[in-house]
Structure 1
Amino acid sequence: MNGASGDVQTPAFGTLETRLRARRDSGAKLLIPYVTGGYKGWQRAVEAAAAAGADAIEIGIPFSDPVIDGPVIQQASTAALDEGATPASVLEEARELDTGVPHAVMTYYNICHHQGHERFAAALVEAGMSGAILPDLPYIEAGPWLDDATEAGIEVILLAAPTTPDHRLAELCGASRGFVYAVGLLGVTGERASLARTATEIAARCLAVTDRPVLTGVGIGSPSQAVEACEVSDGAIIGSAVVRTLMSDGPEAVGELVASYRTALDRG
């Protein structure tokens, strides 16, 4: 399958998508927190988030030149890099995790390109990853990575932006594995005072063309905003709020924060 060809084959469900579909079909709203790998206490934060009701965990591999990361995640990534974190070290530490929920890596294409698709995908599998998000790799250029990752058993999660044209959206959603990441606004990650109108608009557009789980991320800053986003989407991705809590209050507080989102989503 090639992302630029327009010839989309729907893949069999993998570990991540199987779990998310089952949870969604049971009536639950999905919750995926993001944790910056390599930051002090990050493994305990992942474990606390899973125990608090996360359906999957996004693990970030710090990168020196981020595209989508806002100031909070950039600060955590810089601190992790200063402490010597590398892609290899983060994945090695990820292998030690046993949370009972799927893990997906979030990083940038340069890391994947530098290692080579097959080697990078194999490293993710060895680290126990189910999925991968490379936000700076455009869908129309992602065909070779989609092929190689799928061959290795990694579910490639694609991003649908508010600016994704209608003629491309159905193809993108069909090619995504695991879930479709509906980007809530044009800009970098970070907490906002209110949910952007584009967050519900892009989720609705995605859900109109796919039955794959659609989760909204970027710009969700509170449990009430997560509930608002999930009035349309299947779930919410929480990044900056989680990382800010990890940096200010430690990994145990991450569990408390995730529990507050879980409770709010369950109440609706």
Structure 2
Amino acid sequence: MSTEATPAEPSTPPTPTQAPDTRSKTADAIEAARAQGRAAFIGYLPAGYPDKESSIAAAIELARNGADVIEIGVPYSDPVMDGPVIQQATTEVLARGFRLPEVFEIVAAVVQATDAAVLVMTYYNLIDRMGADEFARRLAEAGGAGAITPDLIPDEGSEWIQATQRHGLDRVFLTAPTSSPERVAQIVTASRGFVYGVSVMGVTGARDQVSDAAERVVTAARSAGAERVCVGLGVSTRAHVEEIGRYADGVIVGTALVAALRDGGPAAVGALTAELTGAAETAR
């Protein structure tokens, strides 16, 4: 699946203007990892899976075992970017009656229990239905750092960009191997916190090796002025984390963590996170 539409020429989105006293929680977390000589570790888990309390406990285990940034995915009925493991998890959450306000409660609980920057990852239709300003306000009140919107392109995101500016939130847009230089520049300008580099064209899922396109995506974003580029899709082993960490500012892991949660609960998420971040070796 393509992560973006293919319009003729991208129009120009509004230029984000940062409030002078507003700091990016996500950027701070990534820069703290950089100061330690490593790439940041970013872990994804679905909100409410397998139940609300377990999802909170699993996110806390992420932070305890080396995650710098936590993504809380909002379950959605038409997850065009998600692979089968995440689709199955979110389908179960929706079947038990999950409602969008629950994500703010989960974010608040994780923020209160950890030092990690907590983002939500959501398809934009859910933000649009609630209202961009209302969603941003509630996310900020919960202590969230911002949101990743995989299906939103900057030239269609003016309302969201303005709402995040008003509430001091990060906004993460995606760039892919097929993105034109003009599109990459637009994404870099509109993003705050980091740029999400998609390493493969397709849906999420653990893979045996990292696409050789990943480094090119990072290089293109940096050439367009990106200060922080994090890579996701297909990362599932410590070797992947080390490989990507040599050229990217952050490494994003999702499917492998969701599978661990499915098979072994929050404790398994903690154990896998420790393995992927190297925290397990440090503890020995």
Match of 2:67 among 31, 54, 60: 54
> Are residues 1:33 and 2:34 paired?
no
**Rounded Cα–Cα distance in structure 1 between residues aligned with 2:26 and 2:77:** 28
User: Moved runs in structure 1, 4+ residues, more than 6 A?
Assistant: 264-267
Q: Is the 8 A contact 2:65 2:279 kept in 1?
A: no
Instruction: Give the TM-score taking structure 1 as reference length.
Output: 0.93
Aligned to 2:24: 14
Identify if the C-alpha distance between structure 1 residues 6 and 118 changes in structure 2 by more than 3 Å, giving closer, same or farther: closer
Determine whether 1:70 maps to 2:63.
no
> Is the CA contact (8 Å cut-off) linking 1:10 and 1:174 kept in structure 2?
no
Q: Helix, strand or coil for the counterpart of 1:59?
A: strand
Q: How does 1:120-159 map to 2 (within 5 A)?
A: 120-159=135-174
Coordinate RMSD, CA, aligned: 2.0
Instruction: Find the aligned partners of 1:7 and 1:75 in 2 and give their Cα distance.
Output: 37
2: distance between equivalents of 1:139 and 1:265? 39
- Matched position secondary structure for 1:259: helix
C-alpha deviation, 1:10, in angstroms? 6.2
Following superposition, the deviation at residue 60 of structure 1 comes to 0.6
Indicate conservation of the 8 Å contact 2:171/2:192, yes or no.
yes
Structure 2 residue 58 is the aligned partner of structure 1 residue 45: yes
In structure 1, how many angstroms separate the alpha carbons of the residues matched to 2:182 and 2:106?
A: 41
Contact 1:31 / 1:54 at 8 angstroms: preserved in 2? yes
Query: Equivalent residue for 1:247?
Result: 262
Instruction: Assess if the C-alpha contact under 8 Å between 1:24 and 1:213 holds in 2.
Output: no
Aligned length in residues:
265
Percent identity, aligned pairs only, is: 37
Q: Is the 8 A contact 2:47 2:74 kept in 1?
A: yes
Separation in structure 2 between the aligned mates of residue 228 and residue 133 of structure 1, nearest angstrom: 24
Structure 2 alignment gaps of length 5 or more? 1-9
CA distance in 2, matches of 1:78, 1:36: 10
CA positional deviation for 1:93: 2.8
More displaced 10-residue stretch of structure 1: 162-171 or 102-111: 162-171
Task: Give the TM-score normalised by structure 2.
Answer: 0.88
Q: 2:191 aligns with which of 176, 184, 198?
A: 176
